[in-house]
Structure 1
Amino acid sequence: MKKTFLLVLIILTVKNLIAKDVEFKPHLWSINDPEGGLITTYMGRKSLFLYQGFAFLKGLLLTDGTIEVDFNAHGNRGFAGIVFRSKNKESHELVYLRCHLSNKPNAIQYAPRFNGVMGWQLYSNKGHIANTEIPHNRWIHLKLEVKGKKAFFYVNDSSEPDLIITDLKQKVSEGEIGLWALNGPGHFSNFSYTKTDPEPVEVELNQIKPINPNFIDRWKLSNVFKEGDLNIDQIDNDFLKKLDWVDVVTDQNGMLDISKYRKKITQIHSSPVKNGWDDVIALSTITSNKKRTINLSFGYSDKIKIVVNGKLMFQGNNSFRSKSPRFLGIVGVNNETLTIPLVKGENQILFVVTEQFGGWGFITKFEK
Structure 2
Amino acid sequence: MKNSIRNFLILVVAIAPVSCLQENKKNIPAQELAFTKNNWRIENVDGSTDTLKVVDHQGKYAMFLEPSQKAYLNGKEFKNFQLEFHCNGQVPGLGFRVRDKENYEYLYLRMMMSGKKDALQYIPIYNGSLPWQLYNYPKYEGSAEYPRKEVAILPPFLENQLVHGKVSDKLLKVLEEEGIIFSEESFLDFPDETISYIYDPQSNKALLFEKREDGIVFLDISTWVHVKVEVIEDKMSVYVEDMDTPTFVVDNLKRDSNKGGISLYSNFGQVYFSDVSIREIESSNAPKQRDTKKMISPNYLTKWQISEPFAKDSVNFISQVDSLFDYKEKFKTVTADMDGLLNISRFYDDMNKTVALTCTIVSDSDRDVKLNFDYADHLVVLLNSEILFDGGMNFRPPPEKGMEGRVFVNDEQTVLKLSKGSNELTFVLSGDKRQKYNWGCVAKLEDLNGVSIE
The equivalent of 2:346 in structure 1 is: 260
Q: What CA distance in whole angstroms lies between the structure 1 residues aligned with 2:38 and 2:389?
A: 54
Mapped contact 2:118–2:137 kept (Cα < 8 A): no
Aligned mate of 1:250, from 336, 343, 356: 336
User: CA-to-partner distance for each residue in 1:16-38, whole Å, 9 max, x for gaps?
Assistant: 72100011122311211259863
User: CA-to-partner distance for each residue in 1:110-155, whole Å, 9 max, x for gaps?
Assistant: 1111111122211112121111122323212111000011010011
Mapped contact 2:119–2:143 kept (Cα < 8 A): yes
Q: Note if 1:180 corresponds to 2:270.
A: no
Aligned mate of 1:316, from 383, 387, 391: 391
User: CA-to-partner distance for each residue in 1:161-193, whole Å, 9 max, x for gaps?
Assistant: 110000000011111011112111421111111
* Cα distance change, pair 235–103 in 1 and its aligned pair in 2 (3 A): same
The equivalent of 1:55 in structure 2 is: 71
Aligned mate of 2:55, from 40, 45, 51: 40
* Deviation at residue 318 of structure 1 after TM alignment: 3.6
Task: Give the 5 Å matches for 1:8-87.
Answer: 17-33=28-44, 38-50=53-65, 51-73=67-89, 78-87=90-99
- Residue 81 of structure 2 aligns with an amino acid whose one-letter code is G
The equivalent of 1:346 in structure 2 is: 422
Mapped contact 1:54–1:89 kept (Cα < 8 A): no
Worse-superposed segment, 172-181 or 30-39: 30-39
Number of equivalenced pairs: 339
* Cα distance change, pair 218–68 in 1 and its aligned pair in 2 (3 A): same
Q: What CA distance in whole angstroms lies between the structure 2 residues aligned with 1:184 and 1:339?
A: 45
The equivalent of 1:166 in structure 2 is: 251
Q: What CA distance in whole angstroms lies between the structure 2 residues aligned with 1:170 and 1:34?
A: 23
Worse-superposed segment, 143-152 or 79-88: 79-88
- Residue 349 of structure 2 aligns with an amino acid whose one-letter code is K
Mapped contact 1:210–1:217 kept (Cα < 8 A): no
SS at match of 2:391: strand
Worse-superposed segment, 250-259 or 28-37: 28-37
Worse-superposed segment, 223-232 or 163-172: 223-232
Q: What CA distance in whole angstroms lies between the structure 2 residues aligned with 1:254 and 1:34?
A: 32
Q: Note if 1:101 corresponds to 2:180.
A: no
The equivalent of 2:282 in structure 1 is: 197
* Cα distance change, pair 283–201 in 1 and its aligned pair in 2 (3 A): farther
Gapped regions of structure 1 (runs ≥ 5): 1-12, 267-276
Aligned mate of 1:307, from 382, 387, 395: 382
Worse-superposed segment, 157-166 or 222-231: 222-231
Worse-superposed segment, 156-165 or 140-149: 156-165
Q: Note if 1:211 corresponds to 2:222.
A: no
* Deviation at residue 109 of structure 1 after TM alignment: 0.8
* Deviation at residue 299 of structure 1 after TM alignment: 0.9
* Deviation at residue 101 of structure 1 after TM alignment: 1.3
SS at match of 2:324: helix
SS at match of 2:146: coil
The equivalent of 1:129 in structure 2 is: 141
RMSD: 2.6
Q: Note if 1:334 corresponds to 2:410.
A: yes
The equivalent of 2:166 in structure 1 is: none
- Residue 138 of structure 2 aligns with an amino acid whose one-letter code is K
TM-score, length-scaled by structure 2: 0.69
Worse-superposed segment, 342-351 or 208-217: 208-217
- Residue 127 of structure 1 aligns with an amino acid whose one-letter code is K
Mapped contact 2:144–2:248 kept (Cα < 8 A): no
The equivalent of 1:270 in structure 2 is: none
SS at match of 1:81: strand
* Cα distance change, pair 234–134 in 1 and its aligned pair in 2 (3 A): same
The equivalent of 2:197 in structure 1 is: none
* Cα distance change, pair 161–147 in 1 and its aligned pair in 2 (3 A): same
* Cα distance change, pair 247–175 in 1 and its aligned pair in 2 (3 A): same
The equivalent of 1:3 in structure 2 is: none
Mapped contact 2:370–2:413 kept (Cα < 8 A): yes
Mapped contact 1:86–1:176 kept (Cα < 8 A): yes
- Residue 345 of structure 1 aligns with an amino acid whose one-letter code is G
Q: What CA distance in whole angstroms lies between the structure 1 residues aligned with 2:315 and 2:59?
A: 56
* Deviation at residue 315 of structure 1 after TM alignment: 0.8
* Deviation at residue 304 of structure 1 after TM alignment: 0.5
Gapped regions of structure 2 (runs ≥ 5): 1-23, 148-220, 448-454
SS at match of 2:388: strand
* Cα distance change, pair 14–110 in 1 and its aligned pair in 2 (3 A): closer
* Deviation at residue 98 of structure 1 after TM alignment: 0.8
Q: What CA distance in whole angstroms lies between the structure 1 residues aligned with 2:298 and 2:81?
A: 35
SS at match of 2:369: strand
Mapped contact 1:210–1:254 kept (Cα < 8 A): no
* Deviation at residue 329 of structure 1 after TM alignment: 1.0
Q: What CA distance in whole angstroms lies between the structure 2 residues aligned with 1:53 and 1:220?
A: 38
* Deviation at residue 237 of structure 1 after TM alignment: 4.8
Q: What CA distance in whole angstroms lies between the structure 2 residues aligned with 1:336 and 1:124?
A: 17
Higher helix share: 2
The equivalent of 2:355 in structure 1 is: 280
- Residue 233 of structure 1 aligns with an amino acid whose one-letter code is I
Worse-superposed segment, 337-346 or 242-251: 242-251
* Deviation at residue 67 of structure 1 after TM alignment: 1.0
Q: Note if 1:358 corresponds to 2:437.
A: yes
- Residue 384 of structure 2 aligns with an amino acid whose one-letter code is N
User: CA-to-partner distance for each residue in 1:313-332, whole Å, 9 max, x for gaps?
Assistant: 11111454221598521000
* Deviation at residue 55 of structure 1 after TM alignment: 1.1
TM-score, length-scaled by structure 1: 0.84
